């Protein structure tokens, strides 16, 4: 692997940038592997990397039906944070945040991790109490959280609509260590580091079935590029989890829903960090290129279409106008939709399945991007040791049957409300 440094950048600058080599190997599938990961998104690539780096398992393949990072890894709003309330969630997301903080040195790749802060606004006494409770929960787990009053918020973001009579801004919960990262670079960084450790990244390779032995265990995969034997198989296919699991005869506690996101034309720096509207579902940040990146609710009906409908566009824009009227002056550059694997309690699943040899990483709802490093770390731990990682022990597949659900929003088994 060509190591990146200021010297390599300078040397290539003087050489007309003709000296760069491909960052990772586009491999053809071998006959068999110790572990095969299905899904070449951030979670799958991170899993493969940590399998090789932490557990020394290098006969690993990542199978991707399209190109790596072409699914939700390329369709998110790039926010990283660990501001969760429940004990099942908070240690996991904080572990992810710690991995984000060391990611670029670890991978020798500029993932543009920027801890510019995540500010959740509150607009009522009840909401302030709820955020105080959440902040206290975070601090009990050793995570930074600050409850700001109205004046402190005004100092940070004077452009917000403080005169709104309907939704007055009373303050906000701030996590300074939260922020954003460059989504594509996260994928490419993991792909490059995994490839350098011997992992095969196989693109244009769609899984069409599982090879089962006499006892019913999954021992390989049927793919569009031939049969591949596998010691263990890990699924990390996000919105397509139900479809791939169905190939193994499983039904999951998951519905696939479309989530839209939006980006404006490039502007001078105006939004200091990530800001969320507490009186509606709207969140916004500004990319390093200058575009305002924002989004809101999922459309609310089952979908695999990767595009949404106008009512949610209108709803998101109304939220934006209510929060910061200046956004009305910016022109929308583009919007897109991604398919979310919405679980029945709004929390993910990292667990073995009833099929021997088949492991599941799914149910990320619309919180998958921030979880990428820890998801990979914990899934690799599970695949290598057959035991859950301590921060992901609550993400069991059977928790819905046993009643140990992790429902941050308290919405019950209605995926379009999480």
The Cα-based distances of 247 to 208, 235, 361 in angstroms read 7, 12, 16
Site for other proteins contains 76 (CB under 8 A): no
Residue entry with tokens 């991707």: 64
* Of 88 and 171, CB closest to other proteins: 88
Q: What are phi and psi of 175, to 5 degrees?
A: -110, 105
Residue 254 near other proteins by CB under 8 A: yes
Q: Which residues pair with 119 in a beta bridge?
A: 174, 275
Site string for other proteins, 35-54 (x = CB under 8 A): --------------------
Using the contact rule CB under 8 A, the part of the chain among 105-113, 196-204, 249-257, 326-334 near other proteins is 249-257
Which residues, at least 6 apart from 228, have a Cβ–Cβ distance to it below 8 Å?
A: 29, 30, 31, 32, 33, 36, 61, 63, 220, 221
Contact 386, 259 (CB under 8 A): no
Q: Which CB sits closer to other proteins, 28 or 413?
A: 413
In the set 255, 297, 351, 408, which binds other proteins (CB under 8 A)? 255
CB-based contacts of 151, cutoff 8 Å, min separation 6: none
Residue 30 or 413 having the CB closest to other proteins: 413
User: Applying CB under 8 A, which part among 229-237, 241-249, 326-334, 362-370 lies near other proteins?
Assistant: 241-249
> Judged by CB under 8 A, which stretch of 138-146, 148-156, 222-230, 245-253 contacts other proteins?
245-253
Minimum distance from CB of 257 to other proteins (Å)?
10
Q: Cβ of residue 208: shortest distance to other proteins, in angstroms?
A: 14
| Phi-psi domain of 148 (left: phi exceeds 0; alpha: psi -120 through 50; beta: other) | beta
- In the list 32, 74, 231, 300, the residue contacting other proteins (rule: CB under 8 A) is 300
Which string of x and - marks every residue 154-193 that binds other proteins (by CB under 8 A)? Answer: ----------------------------------------
Cβ 8 vs Cβ 1: under 8 Å: no
Residue 390: exposure state from Cβ atoms within 10 A (0-12, 13-18, ≥19)? exposed
Angle at 261 (CA atoms; ends 257, 263), nearest 5 degrees:
170
Do 280 and 322 contact (CB within 8 A), yes or no?
Answer: yes
Would you give the distance in Å from CA 135 to the centre of its chain? 22
What element of type H or E holds 307? none
Which is closer to other proteins, CB of 94 or CB of 255?
255
Taking CB under 8 A as the binding criterion, the range among 17-25, 114-122, 213-221, 300-308 that sits at the site for other proteins is 300-308
348 binds other proteins (CB under 8 A): no
Q: Residue 240 interacts with other proteins (CB under 8 A)?
A: yes
Q: Would you count residue 102 as binding other proteins (CB under 8 A)? A: no
Task: Identify which range of 14-22, 194-202, 299-307, 386-394 contacts other proteins by CB under 8 A.
Answer: 299-307
Give the chain's largest Cα–Cα span: 69
Tell me the C-alpha distance between 95 and 374, whole Å: 6
Closest to other proteins by CB, 41 vs 117, is 41
- Please state the closest distance from residue 397 (CB atom) to other proteins, in A: 11
The reply to whether 72 sits near other proteins by the rule CB under 8 A is no
The DSSP 8-state label assigned to residue 28 in this structure reads P
Q: Which stretch binds other proteins (CB under 8 A): 37-45, 203-211, 226-234, 252-260?
A: 252-260
* Chain residues 392-411 in contact with other proteins, contact rule CB under 8 A: 400-401
Q: Stretches 22-30, 120-128, 189-197, 305-313: which one binds other proteins (CB under 8 A)?
A: 305-313
Asked if residues 69 and 42 have their Cβ atoms less than 8 Å apart, the reply is: yes
**Residue 336 is a binding residue for other proteins (CB under 8 A):** no
Does the footprint of other proteins cover residue 311 (CB under 8 A)? yes
Cβ atoms within 10 A of the Cβ of 27, count?
A: 16
Cα 75–260–282 angle (5° rounding)?
110
354 binds other proteins (CB under 8 A): no
> Is position 272 an interface residue for other proteins (rule: CB under 8 A)?
no
B/e letters for 105-131, b = 16+ CB within 10 Å, e = fewer, are: ebbebebbbbbbbbbbbbbeeebbebb
Residue with smaller CB distance to other proteins, 107 or 252: 252
Chain residues that interact with other proteins, rule: CB under 8 A: 240, 242-243, 246, 251-256, 300-305, 309, 311, 344, 400-401, 413-416
């Amino acid at each position: 692997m060509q190591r990146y440094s200021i010297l390599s950048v300078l040397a290539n600058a003087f050489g007309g940038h003709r000296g760069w080599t491909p960052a990772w190997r586009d491999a053809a599938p071998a006959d068999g592997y110790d572990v095969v990961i299905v899904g070449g998104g951030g979670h799958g690539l991170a899993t493969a990397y940590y399998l090789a780096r932490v557990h020394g398992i290098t006969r690993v393949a990542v199978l991707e039906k399209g190109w790596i990072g072409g699914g939700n890894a390329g369709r998110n709003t790039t926010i990283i944070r660990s501001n969760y309330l429940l004990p099942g969630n908070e240690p996991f997301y904080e572990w992810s945040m710690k991995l984000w903080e060391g990611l670029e040195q670890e991978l020798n790749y500029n993932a543009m991790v920027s801890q510019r802060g995540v500010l959740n606004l509150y607009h009522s006494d009840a909401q302030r109490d709820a955020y105080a409770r959440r902040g206290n929960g975070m601090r009990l787990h050793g995570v930074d959280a600050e409850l700001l009053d109205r004046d402190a918020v005004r100092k940070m973001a004077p452009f917000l609509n403080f005169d709104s009579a309907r939704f007055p801004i009373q303050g906000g919960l701030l996590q300074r260590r939260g922020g954003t990262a460059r989504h594509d670079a996260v994928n490419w960084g993991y792909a490059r580091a995994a490839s350098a450790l011997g992992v095969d990244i196989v693109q244009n390779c769609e899984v069409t079935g599982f090879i089962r032995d006499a006892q019913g265990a999954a021992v390989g995969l049927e793919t569009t590029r031939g049969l591949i034997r596998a010691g263990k198989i890990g699924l990390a296919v996000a919105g397509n989890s139900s479809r791939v699991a169905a190939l193994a005869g499983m039904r999951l506690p998951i519905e696939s829903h479309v989530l839209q996101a939006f980006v404006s034309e490039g502007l001078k720096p105006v939004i200091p960090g990530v800001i969320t509207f507490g009186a509606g579902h709207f969140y916004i940040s500004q990319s390093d290129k200058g575009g305002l990146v924002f989004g809101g609710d999922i459309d609310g009906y089952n979908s695999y279409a990767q595009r949404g409908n106008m009512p949610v566009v209108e709803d998101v824009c109304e939220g934006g106008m209510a929060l910061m009227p200046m956004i009305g002056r910016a022109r929308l550059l583009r919007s897109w939709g991604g398919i979310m694997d919405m679980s029945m309690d709004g929390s993910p699943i990292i667990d073995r399945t009833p099929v021997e040899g088949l492991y599941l990483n799914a149910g990320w709802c619309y919180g998958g991007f921030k979880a990428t490093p820890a998801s990979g770390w914990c899934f690799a731990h599970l695949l290598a040791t057959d035991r859950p990682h301590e921060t992901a022990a609550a993400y069991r597949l059977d928790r819905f049957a046993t009643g140990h659900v992790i429902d941050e929003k308290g919405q019950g088994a209605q995926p379009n409300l999480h």
